Amino acid sequence: MKKKEATIYDIAEKLGLAASTISRGLKGHHTVSQKTQRKIIATAEAMGYRSNTIAASLRTNSTQTIGVIVPRLDSYLMSQIIAGMEKVTSEAGYNLLISQSRELAANEARSVQSMLNSRVDAMLVSLAEHTEDLAHFEACKAKGVPLVFFDRVPADTDQLCITINNEMAGYQATRHLIDQGARNVMLISGSFRRNVYSQRLAGYRRALISSKIKFKPENIIINDLTEEAGIRAARAVVEQQADGVVVANDICAAACMNEVRRLGRRVPQQVKFTGFNNDFISRQVTPALTTIHYPGVEMGEVAARHVLAHLKGNLDIAQMENIVIKSNLIVRESSLQDHR
């Protein structure tokens, strides 16, 4: 037969204390002395007590859980953003329920429904590449679950969005290469369905226009920005005789740069590179990769702080202006004209 689980009443009987004292002690309440708290916790562990979080959530109408949906969990940027969120939420006594869409809208929709079924208190979302219809997020509004978008955000929404200025970042990366002497600059990007890539394209084009350089559609490569995609793109860089390449993440940029060198082109003397995100790899490749620093941890912290403040009734995120976090260009050897 299945063994009966211990309750706070069993612990109370064992210690000769009131059940209310046991409950407060397990929560670390200041009205229970540290000595008594330690005794309660030790007894609870010895008796195999497990807190019934479902029952507690029904009483308080809160699970102390925030849902997070990201496109990919193997992304350095997303791991940084999640780290920032976790730091803020754990300090506030909240947990994160994390899911990845793997860039598919259907997976994203299932994650939304699953999180709502788990009764998350709020949701933080970065959109999948293939998401076009946002209907699956209407259920959040219907259930009164606060929703904040970050990084990859919808073009038209009344929900709070947290981003960097991707158009400016695209401009800075491209203009830097032009200022270092590049005149045939390629752009390797993810799908323009997403704001981060379409806005970086706009910045790339603005940099060309401001330098009186003709835009050439054949200089645009769209792929999934993986290491393998970077290696494949290197052939086009060489064939197009590009002397500058802006890549929308550092993993793809590093792989492309290494393959371009293997194909006989010198970096940065013949081809200059910039990446995006300031991933760990950008500092490990040779030459070190010029990149746009994307403040992922800060973005995660900002998103978490705002949604927690909303849950506590301290602000209304529905009335807030979108938040733009500052990014900056980090110049390294991969793009410098006078590098030897």
Q: How many CB atoms lie within 10 A of CB 160?
A: 23
pLDDT at residue 29, rounded to an integer: 76
pTM of the model: 0.82
CA 272 to CA 247: how far, in whole Å?
11
Pairing of strands 323-325, 65-70: unpaired
Angle between helices 227-239 and 250-262 (to 10 degrees): 50
Angle between helices 8-15 and 34-46 (to 10 degrees): 120
CA 274 to CA 253: how far, in whole Å?
7
Domains of the chain in start order, with CATH, are 8-51 (1.10.260.40), 63-164+296-324 (3.40.50.2300), 166-294+329-335 (3.40.50.2300)
User: 136 is written with which tokens?
Assistant: 């699956």
Q: Taking a C-beta distance cutoff of 8 angstroms, is the pair 172, 203 a contact? A: yes
Beta strands in the chain, from DSSP E residues, in sequence order: 65-70, 95-100, 122-125, 147-150, 160-164, 185-189, 220-222, 244-247, 272-277, 290-293, 323-325, 328-330
CA 261 and chain centroid, separation: 31
User: 306 is written with which tokens?
Assistant: 């705002």
Q: Give, for all 340 residues of the chain, the pLDDT tens digit.
A: 445 678 888 999 999 999 889 888 887 777 889 899 889 988 988 888 876 654 555 455 678 899 999 999 999 999 999 999 999 999 998 999 999 999 999 999 999 999 999 999 999 999 999 899 999 999 999 999 999 999 999 988 889 999 999 999 999 999 999 999 999 999 999 999 999 999 999 999 999 999 999 999 999 999 999 999 999 999 999 999 999 999 999 999 999 999 999 999 999 999 999 999 999 999 999 999 999 999 999 999 999 999 999 999 998 998 899 999 999 999 999 999 875 5
Number of helices (H), then strands (E), in the chain? 12, 12
